[in-house]
C-alpha cells in the first residue's frame, strides 16, 4: 500500500527520487513535499538542446538510436513518457498525424508530426514492422514472450545519459517529465499561448501549467534578483 501511495505521489508531483532515500524515509515522509523528492526541470537553453540532439544522432549504438528518437519524440510531441513508450511504428512512420488515448487520463488526443520528427522517424524506423514498438525492449515479455516496450526505469536511465551529454550541474534535476516540460517551456516562450498549452497538457488552471513548465520558477528567481537594488547595505 505504501509503495502504491509513493508511486502515485511521485507521478503527481513530477519528481525524481534522491538516491539515498530508504523505504522508511518514504513511509515517514509520504505526505511531505520536498522531503525526499525534487522537482525535475526543463532544458531551457536551445543551444544545449541542439548539442544533445547532435550527439545522440551520431551515436549509432542501439541504445543511442533509441535515445535519439525518444529525445525528439518528447521535444516535438510533448507527451507523457507513459504514452511515448506505447507508440508503435505504424502509428508514426510516414504519418503527418495520429491519435492516441492518454494512459493517465483516458482522453483521446490528435497529434501532428513535424517535418523534423517525420524525417527522424523515416531514417530510424525504415524496414521495421508496423506493429513493433518504437521504443522496443530487447527482452520479450516473460509471460507472453512477445515484444514489449522499454519500461520507465530504462527511459529514466536514458534521460540521465542525456543529462551527461548536456553537461548539466549535478543539482540540475532531469527526469522522465523533462522532455514534456521542455516542450511546454519553449512553446510558451515562443508563443505565450498559455490557453493552447493548457489544452495540449489537459490542465485546468493556468497556474498549474506555468509551474509545471518552470516559468513560475524563473519569474520567482527574477524577482529575487531585483532585491539587491532595493537596499544600500
Q: pLDDT for 183-194, tens place per residue? A: 999 999 999 999
65 lies in a domain? yes
Domain check: are 202 and 97 in the same one?
A: yes
Domain check: are 130 and 110 in the same one?
A: yes
Which pTM does this prediction carry? 0.79
From the list 39, 180, 181, 186, the catalytic residue is 180
From the list 39, 67, 79, 80, the catalytic residue is 80
Domain check: are 187 and 73 in the same one?
A: yes
Cα angle, residue 34 at apex, residues 32 and 40 outer, rounded to 5° = 135
Q: pLDDT for 74-91, tens place per residue? A: 999 999 999 999 999 999
- 104 tagged catalytic: yes
- Does 10 score more than 70 pLDDT? no
According to DSSP, residue 202 is labeled T
Domain check: are 20 and 90 in the same one?
A: no
Q: By residue range, what is the domain housing residue 162?
A: 46-216
Q: Bridge partners of 211?
A: none
Domain check: are 31 and 96 in the same one?
A: no
Where residue 90 sits, what CATH number does that domain have? 1.10.443.10
Q: Given phi > 0 = left and psi -120 to 50 = alpha, else beta, which region is 98?
A: beta
Domain check: are 87 and 12 in the same one?
A: no
- 180 tagged catalytic: yes
- 128 tagged catalytic: no
- 124 tagged catalytic: no
Q: Bridge partners of 101?
A: 108
227 lies in a domain? no
Q: pLDDT for 23-44, tens place per residue? A: 333 333 333 344 445 689 999 9
103 lies in a domain? yes
**d(Cα 106, Cα 223) in Å, to the nearest integer?**
39
Amino acid at each position: 500500500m505504501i509503495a502504491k501511495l509513493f508511486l502515485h505521489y511521485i507521478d503527481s508531483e513530477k519528481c525524481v527520487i534522491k538516491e539515498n532515500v530508504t523505504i522508511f524515509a518514504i513511509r515517514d515522509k509520504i505526505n511531505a513535499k520536498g522531503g525526499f523528492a525534487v522537482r525535475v526541470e526543463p532544458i531551457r537553453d536551445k543551444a544545449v538542446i541542439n548539442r544533445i540532439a547532435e550527439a545522440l544522432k551520431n551515436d549509432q549504438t542501439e541504445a543511442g538510436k533509441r535515445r535519439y528518437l525518444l529525445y525528439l519524440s518528447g521535444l516535438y510531441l510533448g507527451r507523457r513518457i507513459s504514452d511515448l513508450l506505447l507508440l508503435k511504428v505504424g502509428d508514426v512512420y510516414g504519418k503527418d498525424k495520429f491519435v492516441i488515448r492518454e494512459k493517465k487520463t483516458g482522453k483521446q488526443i490528435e497529434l501532428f508530426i513535424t517535418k523534423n520528427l517525420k524525417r527522424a522517424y523515416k531514417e530510424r524506423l525504415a524496414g521495421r514492422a508496423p506493429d513493433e514498438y518504437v521504443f522496443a525492449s530487447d527482452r520479450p515479455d516473460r509471460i507472453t514472450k512477445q515484444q514489449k516496450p522499454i519500461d520507465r526505469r530504462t527511459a529514466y536511465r536514458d534521460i540521465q545519459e542525456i543529462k551527461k551529454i548536456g553537461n548539466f550541474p549535478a543539482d540540475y534535476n532531469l527526469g522522465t517529465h523533462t522532455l514534456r516540460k521542455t516542450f511546454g517551456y519553449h512553446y510558451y516562450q515562443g508563443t505565450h499561448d498559455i490557453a493552447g498549452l493548457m489544452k495540449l497538457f489537459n490542465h485546468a488552471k493556468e497556474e498549474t501549467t506555468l509551474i509545471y513548465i518552470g516559468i513560475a520558477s524563473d519569474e520567482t528567481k527574477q524577482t529575487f534578483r531585483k532585491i539587491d537594488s532595493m537596499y544600500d547595505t
